[in-house]
Structure 1
């Protein structure tokens, strides 16, 4: 397995475990970048980019990335992994259309989720609260949006 694929797998597992632990502790579920091995020679590689697909398949995530790209928000590589660049693009779109006012940092925190929930409520049958928690209802509505993206772009 290539090193970058291993890193994605490892970081995804760490992020998922962190979300699960946070949910069990009663905290809101947010994903943050986990630090990588500190022996990395490059400063740009000193922190791993967390991948947070919010339950989407790689195919669905590619559709979302393609939609972002079509709308003028550069998500980086169309690779099916919603990492920092994809979420920065999403945050810019949420800023422009859903009242997101937090940092454009690529971190899927409560304010990013709240803005996402507002958009999902308008168009994708999200009926839950705007609470910043990416629960089952948020993930289901996000999947409906992603399925529409897949149908539109053929991924």
Structure 2
């Protein structure tokens, strides 16, 4: 996901949560449910969307992503859960690898944006059969090569 798209997604989630909170706050007391005891469908949906925005597996299965996390834990300082969800800490560790060997020059921020993907594509082109352009877009060729890396 592009950084601007991630920002818009988060801003949208904040807006939805704010609207939901405002609607409950202004409802008559006979209609308002206790906020602490009854989660709404809107808050559950917002939480699910935020969790999806926080991870980016680029088409890997949970088992494949666990393989990547094992690699990152063994060699690149990843200390998080081996849960098959490539979140911020997984991508920070991957960015350390990509910075050392594959030309990543951005911040170690855990955001798998275009610069991270370009470095990943260089790694995948060298050893995992990626034949596409180094364009920073995680398209089908990038995803297929990433699956080979994770196998």
Q: TM-score, length-normalised on structure 2?
A: 0.67
Paired residue for 1:32? 6
Q: Deviations over 1:21-48 (max 9, x none)?
A: xxxxxxx798736435568xxxxxxx86
Q: Which region of structure 1 is more displaced relative to structure 2, 30-39 or 71-80?
A: 30-39
Q: Secondary structure at the match of 1:128?
A: coil
Matched, 1:138 2:135: no
Paired residue for 2:70? 66
Equivalent residues of 1:87, 1:107 under 8 A apart = yes
Q: TM-score, length-normalised on structure 1?
A: 0.66
What RMSD over aligned residues (CA atoms) do the two structures have, in Å?
A: 2.5
Paired residue for 1:25? none
CA shift in 2, pair 1:141/1:55, >3 Å: same
CA shift in 2, pair 1:118/1:31, >3 Å: farther
Paired residue for 1:123? 127
Q: How many angstroms apart in 1 are the aligned matches of 2:145 and 2:64?
A: 12
Q: Deviations over 1:8-32 (max 9, x none)?
A: xxxxxxxxxxx6xxxxxxxx79873
Shift of 1:73: 2.5
Give the length in aligned residue pairs.
Answer: 114
| Divergent runs of 4+, >6 A | 28-31
Q: How many angstroms apart in 2 are the aligned matches of 1:121 and 1:29?
A: 24
Matched, 1:85 2:89: yes
CA shift in 2, pair 1:94/1:75, >3 Å: farther
Equivalent residues of 1:32, 1:109 under 8 A apart = no
**5+ long unaligned stretches in structure 2:** 19-49
Determine which of 111, 115, 124 is the counterpart of 2:115: 111
Greater Rg by CA? 2
Q: How many angstroms apart in 2 are the aligned matches of 1:127 and 1:29?
A: 25
